[in-house]
C-alpha cells in the first residue's frame, strides 16, 4: 500500500493535479478514476488508454452539431434542378429500387416527386451549392467539407439516431463521445471530458440518455449534460444558505474522516473517493465560470446572433461549445431537434434553418479567429435525409417529405478535414448515391482517425467479445482528410 501511495504521490506531483489535497492521500485516485494505470506512460492528457493516440492526431477535440429529425438534404444542400422538370410525376420504380419505406408512406398510392421550393446558388471559391435558407453557412462554405453521399441502415428516428451516435441501432453500445473519452481521457481537470447540450424548445422527436451513455463502458465515460434550466450540471449547486467556504470545510472534514478509513482499510478506492470530492469541488467553481457570458464582447453576439444570449438556444449552445473547446473539453455534443418535416415543409423549414444557420457559421468563424479550428473537428448533420417524393398532399405551395436513409448530406470542418470541397454525389433525384458512398460507420471511423485513433484498435471486451464503435465495418474517408 505504501508503495502504491508513494507512486500515487509521485504521479500527483508530476501532474500538479491536486491543487489542494496536499496530504497526497487518495491520490491513486485520479489516475484510477480516469482509467489509467499508475504505471502507464505519461500522457499530456489525463486518463485515456496507454498507446493512444495511435498516431499523430489532427483533432484535439470534437464539436458535433447533431441535427435530429432528419434535415432535408434536398432543400438545404443537394441541388437537383432536374427534379423541377418532372415535378409531380411518380418517382420511377427504377429509382426507388423497391427498397423499404417507412410505413408512413409505404401505403401511399403514389410517390410524386417534388422539387425544392427554395432557390439554390453557388458560394465561395469552392462554388458550393447551397439553398437560400442557409445564407450564413454559405458565407463560410469555403471552410466546410460537404459529404453528399452519406447513408445509413435505419429509417426511423430511434434506431437511426442511436445508430449514428453509438454505431448500433439498438440500445446498449457506448456512444461516440464515451468511446473517445475512454480512449483519450481529458485535457481539463475541472470539467468532464464529454459534455452534452440540447437546444431548449426544439420540439418533435425525443432524445434518449443512451445517445450519450457509456453503454458497457464504465459509467464514468458517459456524457455529462450541461443544462440551461436548473443546475447546469445536475446537483452542482450547493443548497441555499450554504456558502463556498462551508463546502470547502465540508470536503476538508470529509477528507480527514476518509483518510482515517484509508489507513484502516488500505482500500485504494477510498483514495479515489477523496479525489472525486476534490474534482466535484473544482467543477462547482469551473462550471459557473464556464456559463458566465458577461465577459463576452458584443462582437461575439454579432457573430452567433442575439439568440446566443439566451441560455440553451442553439446559438447559446454553440457559443458554449466554443467556450468548452477553449477549456480543452474533448467531446462536445449538441443536439438540435425539429427537422422532421413530414408535412408543411415549405413553411417550417425556413424557420428551422434560421434557428441554426447563423450560429453554426458563427462557430466556424469564431473558432477560426481563435486558431481553434485547426485542431477542432466540427460536424453538422442528422440521422438521415428526406425523400424526394412527397408525403401527404402535394400542392403548388405545400409538400412534406418522409425519412430517407439512402443518401443525405453532412458537413465537417477543421482539424485536417479538407475545406471547401464536396465529396460524393447522388443521382438526379437525390434519391440514390451515384458516387463515393459514405456510411455512418465511415464517418465515425473518420472522426476517430482525426483524433489519432485507429477505429479498429479502440476496443473493449464485453461478454466475451471485443467491441468497437464501428462494429466490424467502417473505412476512413480518405478523400476528405488532408
- CB of 104 vs another protein, minimal distance in Å: 4
- CB of 277 vs another protein, minimal distance in Å: 5
Task: Measure the CA–CA gap between 28 and 271, rounded to whole angstroms.
Answer: 6
Which contacts of 137-140 are long-range, i.e. CB under 8 A and separated by 24 or more positions?
Answer: 137/357, 137/360, 137/361, 137/411, 139/361, 140/361, 140/364, 140/365, 140/413
Task: Measure the CA–CA gap between 261 and 396, rounded to whole angstroms.
Answer: 75
372 binds another protein (CB under 8 A): no
* DSSP one-letter string for 292-325: --TTS-HHHHHHH-GGGGSTTSHHHHHHHHHHHH
- CB of 412 vs another protein, minimal distance in Å: 26
22 binds another protein (CB under 8 A): no
List the interface residues with another protein, window 449-478 (CB under 8 A).
456-457, 459, 461, 463-465
Looking at the Cβ atoms of 270 and 415, the one nearer to another protein is 270
Site string for another protein, 378-417 (x = CB under 8 A): -------------xxx------x-xx--------------
Q: Is the Cβ–Cβ distance between 153 and 163 less than 8 Å?
A: yes
- CB of 126 vs another protein, minimal distance in Å: 36
List the interface residues with another protein, window 89-118 (CB under 8 A).
100, 102-105, 107-108
- CB of 115 vs another protein, minimal distance in Å: 21
List the interface residues with another protein, window 184-223 (CB under 8 A).
198, 200, 203-210, 213, 218-220
290 binds another protein (CB under 8 A): no
Helices 345-369 and 314-326, axial angle in degrees (round to 10):
20
| Length of the chain in terms of residues written | 482
291 binds another protein (CB under 8 A): no
Q: Among 85, 88, 127, 242, which residue interacts with another protein (rule: CB under 8 A)? A: 242
55 binds another protein (CB under 8 A): no
Task: Measure the CA–CA gap between 335 and 166, rounded to whole angstroms.
Answer: 15
Task: Measure the CA–CA gap between 250 and 246, rounded to whole angstroms.
Answer: 6
- CB of 443 vs another protein, minimal distance in Å: 22
Give strand ranges (E) for 55-212.
Answer: 61-67, 120-123, 128-131, 144-151, 194-198
- CB of 52 vs another protein, minimal distance in Å: 9
Amino acid at each position: 500500500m505504501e508503495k502504491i501511495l508513494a507512486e500515487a504521490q509521485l504521479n500527483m506531483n508530476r501532474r500538479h493535479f491536486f491543487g489542494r489535497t496536499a496530504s497526497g492521500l487518495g491520490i491513486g485516485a485520479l489516475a484510477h478514476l480516469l482509467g489509467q494505470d499508475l504505471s502507464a506512460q505519461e500522457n499530456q492528457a489525463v486518463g485515456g488508454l496507454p498507446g493512444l493516440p495511435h498516431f499523430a492526431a489532427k483533432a484535439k477535440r470534437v464539436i458535433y452539431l447533431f441535427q435530429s429529425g432528419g434535415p432535408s438534404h434536398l432543400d438545404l444542400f443537394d441541388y437537383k434542378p432536374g427534379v423541377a422538370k418532372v415535378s409531380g410525376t411518380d418517382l420511377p420504380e427504377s429509382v426507388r429500387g423497391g427498397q423499404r419505406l417507412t410505413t408512413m408512406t409505404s401505403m401511399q398510392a403514389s410517390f410524386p416527386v417534388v422539387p425544392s421550393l427554395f432557390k439554390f446558388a453557388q458560394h465561395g471559391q469552392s462554388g458550393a451549392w447551397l439553398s437560400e435558407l442557409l445564407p450564413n453557412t454559405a458565407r463560410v462554405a469555403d471552410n466546410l467539407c460537404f459529404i453528399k453521399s452519406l447513408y445509413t441502415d435505419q429509417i426511423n428516428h430511434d434506431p437511426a439516431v442511436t445508430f449514428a451516435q453509438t454505431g448500433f441501432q439498438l440500445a446498449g453500445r457506448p456512444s461516440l463521445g464515451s468511446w473517445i473519452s475512454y480512449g483519450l481521457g481529458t485535457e481539463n481537470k475541472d470539467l468532464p471530458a464529454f459534455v452534452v447540450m440540447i437546444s431548449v424548445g426544439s420540439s418533435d422527436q425525443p432524445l434518449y440518455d443512451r445517445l450519450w451513455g457509456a453503454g458497457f463502458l464504465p459509467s464514468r465515460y458517459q456524457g455529462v449534460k450541461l443544462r440551461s434550466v436548473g443546475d447546469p450540471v445536475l446537483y452542482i449547486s450547493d443548497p441555499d444558505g450554504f456558502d463556498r467556504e462551508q463546502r470547502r470545510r465540508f470536503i476538508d472534514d470529509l477528507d480527514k474522516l476518509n483518510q482515517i478509513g484509508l489507513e484502516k482499510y488500505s482500500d485504494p478506492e477510498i483514495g479515489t473517493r477523496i479525489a472525486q470530492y476534490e474534482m466535484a469541488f473544482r467543477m462547482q467553481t469551473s462550471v459557473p465560470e464556464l456559463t458566465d457570458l458577461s465577459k463576452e464582447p458584443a462582437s461575439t453576439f454579432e457573430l452567433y446572433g442575439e439568440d446566443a444570449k439566451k441560455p440553451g438556444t442553439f446559438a447559446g449552445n454553440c457559443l458554449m461549445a466554443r467556450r468548452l473547446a477553449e477549456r480543452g473539453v474533448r467531446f462536445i455534443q449538441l443536439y438540435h431537434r425539429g427537422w422532421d418535416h413530414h408535412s408543411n415543409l415549405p413553411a417550417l423549414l425556413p424557420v428551422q434553418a434560421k434557428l441554426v444557420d447563423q450560429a453554426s457559421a458563427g462557430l466556424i468563424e469564431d473558432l477560426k479567429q481563435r486558431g481553434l479550428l485547426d485542431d477542432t473537428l466540427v460536424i453538422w448533420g442528422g440521422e438521415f435525409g428526406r425523400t424526394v417524393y412527397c408525403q401527404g398532399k402535394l400542392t403548388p405551395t405545400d409538400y412534406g417529405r418522409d425519412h430517407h436513409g439512402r443518401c443525405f448530406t453532412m458537413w465537417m470542418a477543421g482539424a485536417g478535414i479538407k475545406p471547401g470541397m464536396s465529396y460524393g454525389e447522388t443521382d438526379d433525384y437525390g434519391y440514390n448515391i451515384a458516387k463515393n458512398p459514405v456510411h455512418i460507420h465511415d464517418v465515425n471511423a473518420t472522426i476517430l482517425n482525426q483524433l489519432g485513433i485507429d477505429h479498429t484498435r479502440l476496443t473493449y471486451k464485453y461478454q466475451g467479445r471485443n467491441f468497437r464503435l464501428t462494429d466490424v465495418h467502417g473505412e476512413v474517408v480518405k478523400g476528405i482528410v488532408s
